[in-house]
Amino acid sequence: MNEEKILTALDEGELEKLLSPAPSFRARQLFKWIYRDVLSFDEMTNLPVSFRDELKKRFILCDSAVKKRLVDEDGTVKLLVAFSGGAGAEAVLLKDGKGRCTACLSVQAGCPVGCVFCKTGSLGFSRSLQAHEITEQFLHLSRESSAPIGNIVVMGMGEPFFNLDALRKALFLVGKGKGLSPRRFTVSTSGIPRGILDLSENGPKAELAFSLVSAREDLRGRLMPGVREFSLAEIKNALGIYQKKNGRRITLEAVLLGGINTGPEDARAILDFARGLFVVVNVIPWNPVNGLCFEGKPLREPDACETETFIRTLEQGGQNVTRRFRKGRGVCGACGQLGQRLQQGGN
Ligand code: SF4
């Protein structure tokens, strides 16, 4: 499918060109309708019927379909979205205790980084998503949401900096369409220095999260083989440049794997890594995924004592720490659990 024909890939300027000689306000009206989550051209009631008929012939309003929908008792909604050509990805709607909604979006079908603790990583890599495929995940979630979605976290399937151009376009479109400032976006990376620098240089001015996992170089390389080539020093340097330019606090994500990266030396290595940066460490006890192993041994959740001791060591070292509350585990929609194959979920 030619992306130019898919409305969710286009901004107002692009729409205006394609719709010429129609007056420019028609492009603005159409753009507004797309981000009102309509499902058909017939719902665009302030557009003349003849114009809607022309749109139907020339454009596709949405090029993906929700193949499976799961709702957790905590309110989390997980969607398996199928794209034309066969690839699929999961998107998650999270609600906090105050009813505020966050969309968690995927940027790739599968992921080439291959983190041993992540279900997506165990799937291998299919392909990067196009901008409209990311935008449409948001729109599908928005239709599910009783309240406007106020935040976007790019923490679903895939590494954002391996698909930054498409992500940038999608965030621009959703930001414009829904009136969300880039500060409402959080991009989470496994640590690609050139991507961090690109974001720093060219925006959007999103919040940045770095999935550190372990600040022990050797262990990190074994847990996250696809980013082994980037040293922690190189990543830290890029984070420092990002922070200098952006001025915002960076989140270091520490997924805790029972018995693997939870010792006092692991916490101290994180303290060393964090020195000189303005960061908060987000501790995420691993969310179980059946069948995942590290060097021949099944992974396990950290026990409460391991987690508490780890957090205490960080705090005693003067580090700001938050603990990720567990959302969506009942539908395998929590961090590290995404990765249903299209053929499993779709039929
Ligand atoms: S944790 Fe992120 S970077 Fe690692 S395999 Fe999963 S999706 Fe990819």
pLDDT tens-digit readout, 43-62: 999 999 999 999 999 999 99
Per-residue confidence (pLDDT) for residue 346, from 0 to 100? 34
pLDDT at 345 (0 to 100): 37
**Average pLDDT in the 80-101 region?**
93
pLDDT in tens, 304-343: 999 999 999 999 999 999 997 667 777 777 777 887 655 5
Check if 160 has its Cβ closer than 6 Å to any atom of ligand 1: no
pLDDT for residue 344: 44
d(CA 102, CA 179): 14
Nearest C-alpha neighbor of 91 from the set 281, 183, 83: 83
Please say if the pLDDT value at position 1 is more than 80: no
Per the residue annotation, which of 16, 90, 253, 306 is the catalytic one? 90
> Does domain 64-345 fall into CATH 3.40.50.2300?
no
CB atoms within 10 A of CB 342: 20
Residue 159 CB less than 6 A away from ligand 1:
yes
| pLDDT of 95 | 93
Please check the confidence at residue 199 and state whether its pLDDT lies above 70: yes
User: Among 62, 111, 332, 335, which one carries the catalytic annotation?
Assistant: 335
Position 335 scores a pLDDT of 75
- Atom 5, ligand 1: residue with shortest CA distance: 121
Would you tell me which CATH number, out of the four given (1.10.150, 1.10.10, 2.40.50, 2.60.40), belongs to the domain 3-58? 1.10.150
278-298 average pLDDT score: 96
- Residue 341's pLDDT is 59
3-state secondary structure of 258: coil
For CA atoms 299, 188, 207, 136, give the dihedral sign. negative
Percent of the chain predicted with pLDDT > 70: 96
Task: Copy the structure tokens of residue 336.
Answer: 């590290």
Give yes or no for residue 120 CB within 6 A of ligand 1.
yes
Does the CB atom of residue 106 touch ligand 1 within 6 A? no
For the question of residue 62 being annotated catalytic, the response is no
How far, in Å, is the centroid of ligand 1 from the Cα of 315? 27
Residue 224 alpha carbon, nearest atom of ligand 1? 4
Rounded to two decimals, what is the model's pTM? Answer: 0.95
Ligand 1 atom nearest residue 227's Cα = 3
Where are the domains positioned within the chain?
3-58, 64-345
Which of 190, 212, 286, 294 most suits a substitution to test ligand 1, by most atoms within 8 Å of the C-beta? 190
pLDDT tens per residue across span 147-197: 999 999 999 999 999 999 999 999 999 999 999 999 999 999 999 999 999
Residue 335 annotated as catalytic? yes
